[in-house]
Amino acid sequence: MKKLRMNFTNAEETISTLTYANCHQNLTAEEIQEAMATIAELKLISKGGILQYEIPQSANYIETTVTEIF
């Protein structure tokens, strides 16, 4: 299963990443951009008084391959 990773610039102009494991696998770029804009507008998450998800930057799907050893 793919994970959706969304990258934002925070208030200190460093990258903050939000990863969502249980996402739809076929979201369009427009749908993800709209969701990221909403997250940024809500200004809900801060760390040490610094907003973490302020400016949407990029998004991608992440796939992890697990290889059994034994």
List, run by run, the mean pLDDT of 10-residue segments along the chain (70 residues).
92 91 90 96 89 94 91
Q: Is residue 70 part of a domain?
A: no
pTM of the model: 0.83
Give the separation between CA 70 and CA 57, rounded to whole angstroms: 40
Task: Supply the pLDDT for residue 25.
Answer: 86
Residue whose structure tokens are 């059994």: 68
Phi/psi of residue 18, each to 5°? -120, 120
Task: Supply the pLDDT for residue 59.
Answer: 97
Q: Is residue 42 part of a domain?
A: yes
Domain that holds residue 32: 3-62
Task: Supply the pLDDT for residue 5.
Answer: 96
Q: Is residue 7 part of a domain?
A: yes
